[in-house]
Chain A
Amino acid sequence: MTADTARHATAQAQAGQPLLQVRDLRVYYHTPRGAAKAVDGVSFSLEPGERLGLVGESGSGKSTIALSLMRLIKPPGVIEGGEVLLGGEDLLAKSEEEMRQVRLAGVAMVAQGAMNSLNPVKRVREQILDGLADHGQPIAKRAVADTLGALLRSVGLKPEVAGMFPHELSGGMKQRVVTAIAISLRPKVIIADEPTSALDVVVQRQIMDTLLRVQQDLGAAVILIGHDMGLMAQFVTRLGVMYAGKLVELCPVQAIFDEPLMPYSQLLIASLPSLTKKGELRGIPGLPPSLLDRPTGCPFRARCPHAFDRCAVEEPALRELRPGHWAACHLY
C-alpha cells in the first residue's frame, strides 16, 4: 500500500468506521511443550486521533499485540487467526511486500528500548533517509535539509542533530530520533511500546509531551503499551487491561481509576503506590496462569478474591457493563 492509498483508507475511516479494528486476534508461540497462547481472542477498535493504552504484567500479551499489528511476529510465534483491519483492509491478509509498505506509512512502532536499535556507525540523517527511501519516498537532494530539519524539530531536536552519530546523543535524544523515524511517513497509527522504560522521569515526561504533540500534529492514533498506570493516566483517553492473553477490561481512562470492574483491575489500582499519601503497600498475591496450560474458566480466578463456582467452568466474555465500559467478569 502506498502513502496515497493509506490516506484514502483513512478518509474511509473518517467516514464512520474505526481507523483500526482488531477482531478475535490469536497469537500462539509454539514450544516443545505445546502452544503458549500469548494473545487469545482479543478484539478492540481504535478511532482516528484516539490514544489507547494497553496495560498488563509481563507475559500478558500486550507486546505481542503490538508486534502482530506490525506483522512482526517471528517463529515460533504464529498469528493463528483474527483480523487487523486498517481503514477496512486486513493487514493479516497482505503479502510481506505489501505489508512492508504499510509499516511506517500506515502503522509505525516506537519499540521498547528502540533507542538501542540505531546503527552506531551511521549519522542520524542517513538513518532517517534510509527509512524514507525504503518506502519509495526518496527526497530530492535540495529538499533533504528542510525535510530533516522539520522532522527533527517536530520531536524537539535541533536540525544539527542530523549530522550526529548515536553515541553523541543522550538516551532521551536517541528516543526522539527513533520517534522521528517512526513518524517520518506520517503514519495513521503509532504504536509506542514502553517508549520511556529506560529513561528518567524528567526525560520521560518530555518524550511523552513530544509524542502527544506529534500525535496531534499528524492527527494519528496512538496505542501506548506499558505497565505504568501513572503514564497511562497522563497520556491515554481509553485503557485496555490485559491478563493472560485476554483483554479483561476496556473503558475510558478515568473509569478505570474511578470504578474498576474486573477484580484484577481493582487490585491493580489498589497496588499503586501514592506520592501524596503514605500507606500500606499492597501487592496482588499469586501468579498469572501458565500460558501453556490455561485453566478452565476465568484466567484470573486462582488469584481472585471474589471467585465463585461459575468462574471455574465458564470463561467470562468481555461485555459492555456500563456505557463504554467493557469488562470480562461473572460478578456483573
Chain B
Amino acid sequence: MAPLLEARNVSKVFSGGLFSRAQNIALDDFSFALEDAPPSITAVVGESGSGKTTLARLLLGLAAPTSGSVRYNGKDLRKHSRAEWRTFIREVQVIFQDPYEVYNPFYTVDHVLKEPIRKFALAGTKAQGRALMEEALTAVGLRPEETLGRHPHQLSGGQRQRIMVARALLLKPRVIIADEPVSMVDASLRATILNNLRQINRQFGISILYITHDLTTAYQLSENIIVLYRGGVAEVGSVERVVQHPQHPYTRLLVGSVPLPDPRRPWEAAPAPSALGREMTAASCRFADRCPSAMPVCIEVRPPLYQTNPDRAAACYLYDDAPAMATGDINQVFVGEAAD
C-alpha cells in the first residue's frame, strides 16, 4: 500500500533573483514517507536554513517542488482532481509558529473555528456546529464557555495556539504538520500544548510531523527524528538512539549545545573545525566547513547515509564501514513502523 503522505526525491531550489545566478538549494533530493498505520510522531529538527520550513510548505502543497514529487494516497499532488485536493486540504492540517498572526483582531475566536465548519460543511445545523466546536476545544483542554465569544487579545498566546490545535482537530485530519508550534509560547504553557499533540496522536490516531529547532521537545514528543542540515539529512532514526548517542558531528554539536537546566552539567567545550585549507564545493559534505572530523574526502564527495544501527543512519564517512543507504530509504530506520 502506498504511504499516506510521501515526499519522493524532492528538491526545492530558490534562484537568487533576476540578475543573480546564485542558487539556494533549500531541500536536496529528500525522500520520506509519513504513515498513519500505526499513527506516528516524527520530528524534523534543524537550524534556520536547514530546509525544515520548506519541507513543511512542500508537504502542505503550499509550494511546488523543483524536482521530485509530493504524494498523498500515492498520487502526486499536482495531479490531484478538485475532489482529491479538497480531501487533501482537509485531511492534512497545519499548525504554524505564530498564534497571533492567524487571528483577525476584529472577530471573536469563534470565527477561526466556524470557518472550516462552513467551508467543509461539517455541520448541518448551528447547534451541531456549536457542538463540534465545543468538542474540539474540550479535546485541547480549553473550557468552551470561557473561550467562545472572546476576542484574540483576551486570550493568552498559549490559549490561542491551543485553539489552532482545536481548529485542526475539527476537520478530523489524518496528518498534522506542526511547524514550531510552541516556539512563541511561554515555557510553562509549552508542555500543555505538546501534551495536546501527544494526546490527539494517541486518541484520534492522527500522525504528526513536528518541525522544530528545539531538540529537547523533539526528544520528548517524537518516536523518530530527522536531523536536517542545509537541505540534506545529516542523521535519522529512532529519537532515543539519535539524541542519546548522536553520531553525525553536526548532531553531536547540536546535542552538546543544548543548555541543560542543570548547573552541575555545564556546556562542554565545542571542538574546533578541522582546518583542511580547501574550499567547499557543491559536491562537498554540507557540514565539512564546520566539522571537527573533516577529511579530504569530505570536500570531494558528499557522503551517503550509512546505516550504523537497525534504527539509525548517519551521513558521515566516519561510519563508512556500515552499509550505505539510498536516500529514499530513511523510513527503514524508523522504529514503531511496520517493516515492509
Which A residues contact B (CB, under 8 angstroms)?
Answer: 57-58, 171, 200-206, 208-209, 227-235, 253-254, 257, 267-269, 271-276, 278-285, 287
Contact = CB atoms under 8 A, between A and B. Distances in A.
Contacts of B257: 201-202, 204-205
B195 interface: yes
| Interface size class of chain B, counting residues whose CB lies under 8 Å from the partner chain | 35 or more
A268 B188 contact: yes
B186 A57 contact: yes
Contact of A171 (B48, B156, B159, B188): B48
Given A273-B216, A281-B198, A57 B188 contact: yes
B195 A281 contact: yes
B189 interface: yes
Contact of A57 (B187, B198, B220, B254): B187
B54 interface: no
A235 B188 CA distance: 21
Contacts, number: 116
Contacts of A275: 215-216, 219, 243, 255, 258, 260
8 A-B pairs with least C-beta separation: A283-B192, A230-B259, A200-B47, A283-B191, A281-B191, A284-B188, A57-B186, A201-B257
A272 B48 contact: no
18 contacts: A57-B186, A57-B188, A203-B47, A205-B259, A228-B259, A230-B261, A233-B262, A268-B188, A271-B190, A273-B191, A273-B216, A275-B255, A281-B221, A283-B189, A283-B193, A283-B195, A285-B192, A287-B159
B220 A273 contact: yes
- Dominant secondary structure of chain B at its interface with chain A: helix
Nearest to B250: A202
A262 B195 CA distance: 25
A271 B263 contact: no
Contacts of A206: 270
Contact of B186 (A227, A232, A269, A282): A227
Contact of A287 (B47, B156, B216, B270): B156
Given A58-B157, A203-B47, A275-B216, 20 more contacts: A58-B186, A171-B48, A200-B47, A201-B259, A202-B253, A202-B254, A205-B270, A208-B259, A228-B259, A230-B259, A254-B264, A268-B188, A271-B187, A271-B188, A271-B191, A275-B215, A278-B219, A281-B190, A281-B192, A283-B195
